[in-house]
């Protein structure tokens, strides 16, 4: 937490991996989120307010976005999907005792 009681979330921490996310895929998720956030005019340190069953204030940080990253993540639908995974994973990890242990496959109903 920082001085204004917002929890700091760093997208690049996904590059360390999780039981069901390799460091390489975690880095890709972080890149996608960074491209989306910057592309929508957000600046590092943007505040996220979570309310509902869980609640909290978060400040989100990401690595600098490069032109190469923008070209790589030029499919906005895919970029948004992967960026949303990144933010959701960080929030779940911070707000619950859960962690990703396995990726589901299509047709499981999950």
pLDDT of residue 108: 66
pLDDT of residue 51: 94
pLDDT of residue 105: 72
- Helix (H) or strand (E) holding 87, with range, is helix 76-95
pLDDT of residue 1: 55
Burial of 103 (0-12, 13-18, 19+ CB in 10 A): exposed
DSSP per-residue codes, 10-59: EGGGGGG-BTTB-HHHHHHHHHHHHHHHHHTT--TTEEEEE-SSS-EEEE
Matching residue, tokens 């307010």:
49
pLDDT of residue 2: 55
Q: Reduced to 3 states, what is the DSSP secondary structure of residue 73?
A: coil
Torsion sign across C-alpha atoms 50, 45, 91, 1: negative
pLDDT of residue 78: 96
pLDDT of residue 89: 93
pLDDT of residue 109: 60
**Low-confidence stretches of the chain (pLDDT beneath 50):** none
Domains of the chain: which residue ranges?
7-95
């Amino acid at each position: 937490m920082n001085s204004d009681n917002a929890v700091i979330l760093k997208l690049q921490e996904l590059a360390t991996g999780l039981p069901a996310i390799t460091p390489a895929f975690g880095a890709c998720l972080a890149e996608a989120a960074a491209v989306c956030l910057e592309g929508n005019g957000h600046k590092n340190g943007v505040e996220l307010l979570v309310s509902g069953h869980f609640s909290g204030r978060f400040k989100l940080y990401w690595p600098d976005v490069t032109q190469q990253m923008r070209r790589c993540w030029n499919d906005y639908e895919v970029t948004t999907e992967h960026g949303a995974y990144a933010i959701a994973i960080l929030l779940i990890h911070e707000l619950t005792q859960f962690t990703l242990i396995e990726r589901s496959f299509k047709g499981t109903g999950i």
